[in-house]
Amino acid sequence: MLPLFQSNSTFLTPNVKIIKTPGHTSEDISVIVSNTDKYGTIAISGDIFISDKDIDFPMMWKKFSHDIHEQEHSRRELICAANFIVPGHGKVFKVTSEIKNGVNCGNSENGRNHGFSRGRFN
């Protein structure tokens, strides 16, 4: 059994981490890949992000969410950790400073910490 099921996250390698990101379903996970040559940190989000369009149109994901509050926290966690996000059904998109500011990435009181260091993944 993977250690992920005993905690909120686990490293597969020093640069690849799996984290629990509930919301779309209660069992969702995402993969964070850090220190990529061209893209920095990439989050492979599954359906936590449906597509690059759901940043501007939240009803795209909210209508399919098992738990909107949990999914908002998971989305914030990925936005704050990543330079790029690979959504479940759309094209890869860059996480701009505008997107990060929109979810208050600098304010740690607004989100959960899945055990990864922001310094390591940003």
The reported pLDDT for the residue numbered 20 is: 93
79 pLDDT more than 90: yes
Average pLDDT for residues 12-35, to the nearest whole number? 94
**DSSP string of the chain, one letter each residue:** --GGGGSSEEEEETTEEEEE--SSSTT-EEEEEEEETTTEEEEEEETTS--GGGGT-THHHHTT-S-HHHHHHHHHHHHHH-SEEEESSS--EE--HHHHHHTTTT-GGGS---S--HHHH-
Q: How confident is the model at residue 71 (pLDDT cuts 50, 70, 90)?
A: very high
The third-level CATH classification (topology) of the domain covering 3-97 is: Metallo-beta-lactamase; Chain A (3.60.15)
Task: For 84-94, write each residue's pLDDT tens digit.
Answer: 999 999 899 99
- Position 108 scores a pLDDT of 55
Q: Give the confidence band of 33 by pLDDT, cuts at 50, 70, 90.
A: very high
